[in-house]
């Protein structure tokens, strides 16, 4: 099924509002999820709506949270999320980081006690659209084996980065510190598709191509990914005085409880380090030069990070966003949720 981004936004917002969020918060959640689907990041788009709706309806996401920003220094602060919508908390915290960086050049803002916030690319692009450079990291529940280990300990612990240019393009990347995010496995499962054998292992620790048999994910580039996921856990968990590693709350075990997750935004104002126009011009130049690099055999051309998603968004604007039929039927139904997630394990089983 194909729908416009605007229609998808409205369907998601309506469902999230019916689950219990305010119109304002539901609108932000829908904006983040529709952004993800429009970029082809379907693992963080409409596929998540039923889960969020069930958690909201059961009290695990605070409907009317007592959000509070605490500025702890000239360039630092904590956004207290009260286990409200992670999408809203992350966006509001980025607003504060942008404000501080605009005045003082750099901002480091932690988001404390939040729920799942979706695609991090949305938030770093929020800063890049203001001509700032941004890095965002967040923790997630354990489902990854540390390099050399046989049991999971860390989450997929993603990292996102964005920077502006002088011609409207953005350098953007949003990556899990695993070979692939669990959401991608979930998306493959929803479509009945197999996965590459490099993504995950089964209960015996052997590579698997069956998303239904995944027992743990693998860190990207072995020990390098392992180090990155630990770094993310320190910055978004231990640094904020929150649970870390294997102590991070389960996404599905009890949907009536808040998750108390953490996220960290780092925003840099290039104008405090160099001429802003020269910075953006150089960003455009590097993107031009990278995409002009001769492609390897069998490759059409080199793309800069984030370019494929931006091209996909343009194509979807003309053709509509492709949504799995079952998900679309849920979005247009009268049901808020179907009790599909509460009490499940780390893989929603």
Least trusted range by pLDDT, from 98-107, 204-213, 326-335? 204-213
User: Given this model, what pLDDT does residue 116 score?
Assistant: 97
- Domain extent listing, the chain: 2-275+309-332
Question: What pTM was computed for the model?
Answer: 0.94
Spot the catalytic one: 9, 80, 116, 337.
116
What's the whole-number mean pLDDT along residues 305-321? 96
pLDDT band at 28 (very low <50, low <70, confident <90, very high): very high
The fold of 2-275+309-332 is Ribosomal Protein S8; Chain: A, domain 1 (3.30.1370)
Q: What is the mean pLDDT of the chain?
A: 95
pLDDT given at position 113: 98
Taking residues 30-50, what's their average pLDDT?
A: 96
Q: Can you give the three-state secondary structure of the chain, one letter per residue? A: CEECHHHHHHHHHHHHHHHCCCHHHHHHHHHHHHHHHHCCCHHHCHHHHHHHHHHHHCCCCCCCCCCEEEEEECCEEEEECCCCCHHHHHHHHHHHHHHHHHHHCEEEEEEEEECCCCCCHHHHHHHHCCCCEEEEEECCCCCECCCCCCCCCECCCCEEEEEECCCCCEEEEEECCECCCHHHHHHHHHHCCCCCCCCEECCCCCECCCHHHCCEECECCCHHHHHHHHHHHHHHCHHHCCCCHHHCCCCCCCCCCCCCEEEEEEEECHHHCCCHHHHHHHHHHHHHHHHCCCCCCCCCCCCCCCHHHHHHHHHHHHHCEECCHHHHHHHHCCCCCCCCCCCCCCCCC
State how beta strands 76-80 and 106-114 pair. parallel
Give the range among 9-13, 186-190, 262-266 with minimum mean pLDDT. Answer: 186-190
- Is the distance from CB of 49 to CB of 16 less than 8 angstroms? yes
Quick one: tokens of 282? 């150089």
pLDDT band at residue 243 under the 50/70/90 scheme = very high
Separation between Cα atoms, residue 43 and residue 201, nearest integer Å: 19
* 116 in catalytic set: yes
- From the list 170, 166, 191, the residue with the least C-alpha distance to 46 is 191
Token pair for residue 34? Answer: 């529709």
Rg of the chain in Å (alpha carbons): 20
Least confident of 149-158, 185-194, 306-315, 338-347: 185-194
Q: What is the pLDDT of residue 14?
A: 98
């Amino acid at each position: 099924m194909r729908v416009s981004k605007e229609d998808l936004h409205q369907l998601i917002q309506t469902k999230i509002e019916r689950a219990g969020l305010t119109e304002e918060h539901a609108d932000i959640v829908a904006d983040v999820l529709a952004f993800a689907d429009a970029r082809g990041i379907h693992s963080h788009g409409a596929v998540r709506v039923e889960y969020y709706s069930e958690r909201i309806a059961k009290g695990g996401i605070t409907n009317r949270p007592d959000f509070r920003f605490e500025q702890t220094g000239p360039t630092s602060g904590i956004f207290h999320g009260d286990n409200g919508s992670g999408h809203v908390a992350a966006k509001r915290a980025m607003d504060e980081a942008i404000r501080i960086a605009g005045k003082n050049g750099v901002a480091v803002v932690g988001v404390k006690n939040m729920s799942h916030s979706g695609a991090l690319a949305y938030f770093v692009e929020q800063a890049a659209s203001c001509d700032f450079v941004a890095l965002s990291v967040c923790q997630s529940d354990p489902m990854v084996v540390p390099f050399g280990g046989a049991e999971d300990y860390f989450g997929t612990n993603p990292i996102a980065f964005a920077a502006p240019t002088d011609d409207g393009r953005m350098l953007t990347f949003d990556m899990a510190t695993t070979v692939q995010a669990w959401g991608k496995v979930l998306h493959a499962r929803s479509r009945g598709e197999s996965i590459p054998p490099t993504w995950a292992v089964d209960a015996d620790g052997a590579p698997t191509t069956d998303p239904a048999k995944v027992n743990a994910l693998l860190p990207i580039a072995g020990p390098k990914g392992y180090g990155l996921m630990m770094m993310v856990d320190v910055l978004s968990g231990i640094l904020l005085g929150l649970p870390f590693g294997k102590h991070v709350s389960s996404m599905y075990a009890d949907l009536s409880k808040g998750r108390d997750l953490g996220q960290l935004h780092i925003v840099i104002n290039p104008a405090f380090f160099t001429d802003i126009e020269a910075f953006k011009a150089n960003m455009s130049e590097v993107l031009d030069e990278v995409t002009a690099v001769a492609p390897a055999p069998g490759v059409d051309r080199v793309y800069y990070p984030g370019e494929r998603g931006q091209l996909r968004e343009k194509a979807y604007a003309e053709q509509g966003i492709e949504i799995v039929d079952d998900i679309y039927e849920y979005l247009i139904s009268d049901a808020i949720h179907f009790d599909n997630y509460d009490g499940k394990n780390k893989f929603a089983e």
